[in-house]
A and B are shown apart, each in its own frame.
Chain A
Amino acid sequence: MKINLNVDVRHLTRIEGHGNIKIHVKNGEIKEARWDVVETPRFFEVMLKNKHYTTAGLLAARICGICSISHCLCSVRATEDAFKVTIPETAVKLRLLAKHGETLQSHILHVLFLAAPDFFNEPSVIPLIEKKPEVIAIATRLKGLANRLCDTIAGRTTHPVAFQVGGVTMMPQKDHLLGLQDELKRSLDDLQIVADLFSTFTLPDFTRETEFVSLKGKKEYPFIGGSLISSDGVEHKEQDYRPMTNEYVDKNNTSKWSKLSRESYAVGALARFNNNSELLHPKAAEVAAYLGLKPVCHNPFMNNVAQLVECFHVVHEIICLIDELVDSGPGETMAKVTPKAGEGVGAVEAPRGILFHHYKYDKTGRIEMANCVVPTTQNNANIHHDIKSLVKKFAMTKEMTDKKLELLCSMLVRSYDPCVSCSVH
């Protein structure tokens, strides 16, 4: 069979940041199948040097405009680890609330604004405003609600202002919380409509055996801190993230690459689900079953479904958290902080996967060394290997065209919800 295929995507659309797909099949032989990140490096790990601990979280947030809450929370957690600060219980809850708001906002943005147009054969969400107004109404409603929750807790959704080393600076008013809770309860109907919509989509039937890395929940589905686990059975403490992530530099990529037991591994909603599905809220578990998501799922396209399942989970958890906060009344939200020399690590499940910040401080509370390992940085090598395997599985048929293959590979990359600018920080 003389199969010849060429795909050359420069700056893939509907993802955050700049990456290229290149595929070259000649006479049925794969000459090239690549995912390369070409984003401009920003050198955040260098810029963080010499910064005072009160500034680190603000700067770290600017690594990513979509998951700035995760970066900020991860940063202050690393510093709190270095200074041996324990934050008050109310602050723990408020941080988790904001974290959930971000997860909802980010997943909805991805699932409905960036990924869904592929399933409706549209180039973007814009034509859907006319063609699928009910879906767009739901999408904007959900995203708007999630943003308002983040604004209320974090002071601002993009680049939060209320998280400091030691806790949270603002206690939201009770009636604001209850108002949001009310809306969130009603938003479950909206989410169900999205789940019904997703049940009508056909996802490509593609699997590649993959190692999944995430936080390991104890009693709760994990989001902030805790130990690390991989689906191949590797476990480490939060502080020992380096033997878990093993970053290295690839000559074609401005993003680093990572590996653990295999040539690459994956992080994100699917990884969290695969490693912690038994800890999901029962209602979210029902949705997973309804949409055919079972652990351990090796189909990367199912990451979209895992994101949707997590939306249900976080909404249910936000509703409970607000009850707890309202019942316990206003408590202390800031602990006393005394800077000291030492190192600390923070791990947080950002919407797109596990994120690490690691700082070394001098005794005046200024950073001497910073290292950040970002979700998409860990996914990039896995995306690259997935593309190779996808081409092997689907490209070698007569029906395959350049256009079809381009769409399929683009959808694959999109399913990871990559944040490429973030991966090159």
Chain B
Amino acid sequence: MKYLGIEPQKPKIAVFDFTSCEGCELQLLNKEETLADFLNAVEIMSFREASSSSSDDYDIALIEGAVSRNDEVKRLEKIRKNAKVLVALGSCACFGGVNRLKNEFDLKSANKEVYGNNPKETINVRAIKDIVPVDIEIPGCPVSKAEVESLICHVVWDSPFQLPVYPVCVECKQRFTTCLFEKGQLCLGPITRAGCNAPCPAGGQGCWGCRGPAVEPNYASFFTIVKEKGFSDIELKEKLNFFGAFQEVTIS
């Protein structure tokens, strides 16, 4: 793929999965209209879910999933050493994702409940940035392939890579979705970063905040509205904790 007659360097990419559902990796094989172009624009050095060839010679590491066992810590540190750019792909990688809900339980009894007298090794769930420095985060459960593509363009042509700064509400209005608060439901749209095109409210569910906070959300006024509408702190906390994406804020 030439640009102004110049063959750009194909970025060498590796994809790695940690504790996750592999839904984000799957998005890399979606968006069928541009899949062949995407696979041609990059050089895939390692992508276990899709390919049997693998190499440690890569520039960009895309990391899916959170860390929930000690061997994952070591694996991640090794990847960080190899990669020039390390990208956290999806809510599990960026925030811990739904996996983080595990941390609310006692791990010993959790283990007992699932594995009886054969406990398996596990540790509290942590996001990638809690273990190694992360260069770029692409949140979402799952990630949007369009954002992954724009990241690739950013690396190949240095075009700007910028996640939306505004909240999900804006995209909801663009889709003419009736506000969930009007239907008596709690929605994190006003404080959550847009970029998903608001599928959840369109499907009749309040946003659960999988993409994490928009830029400088007005938490105070949001919490006041939530209270005025009659939602309890427990309901609000449950929403904020679902993807582990709102660690930065505590409700008083």
Which residues of chain A have a CB within 8 Å of any CB of chain B?
Answer: 11, 13-18, 40-43, 45-47, 49, 52, 55, 58-59, 62-66, 68, 109, 113-114, 117, 123-126, 129, 136, 140-141, 143-144, 147, 154-162, 164, 169-170, 249-251, 254, 410, 421-422
Contact = CB atoms under 8 A, between A and B. Distances in A.
Given A15-B49, A164-B204, A40 B68 contact: yes
B242 to A, nearest CB: 8
Interface string B143-155: 0000000000000
Nearest to A66: B26
Contact of A123 (B21, B49, B51, B242): B51
Contacts of A155: 199-200, 202-203
Tell me what chain A mostly uses at the interface: helix, strand, loop, or mixed. Answer: loop
B227 interface: no
Contact of A46 (B40, B110, B238): B110
A49 B238 CA distance: 13
A55 B33 CA distance: 33
B199 A161 contact: yes
Interface bracket on B: 35 or more
B136 interface: no
12 contacts: A13-B48, A16-B22, A40-B72, A43-B122, A58-B242, A59-B98, A113-B50, A156-B203, A158-B27, A159-B142, A161-B204, A421-B20
A43 B124 CA distance: 11
Given A124-B44, A155-B199, 5 more contacts: A40-B69, A143-B29, A156-B203, A249-B118, A254-B120
B156 to A, nearest CB: 18
A64 B49 CA distance: 14
B26 A158 contact: yes
A46 B110 CA distance: 6
B36 A136 contact: yes
Contacts, number: 163
Interface string B12-51: 0000011111111111011011011001100010011111
Given A125-B50, A170-B204, A17 B22 contact: yes
A27 B63 CA distance: 43
A8 B55 CA distance: 18
B23 to A, nearest CB: 2
A46 B114 CA distance: 8
Contact of B49 (A14, A42, A43, A52): A14
A254 B242 CA distance: 25
Nearest to A17: B22
A129 B22 contact: no
**Residue of A52, A155, A250 with most chain B CB atoms under a 10 A cut-off:** A155
A333 B111 CA distance: 39
A251 B116 CA distance: 11
A156 B21 contact: no
Interface stretch (B3-11, B99-107, B165-173, B217-225): B99-107
A46 B116 CA distance: 13
B174 interface: no
Interface string B62-105: 00000011001000000000000000000000000111011001
Nearest to A369: B113
B93 to A, nearest CB: 13
B50 A421 contact: no
B60 interface: no
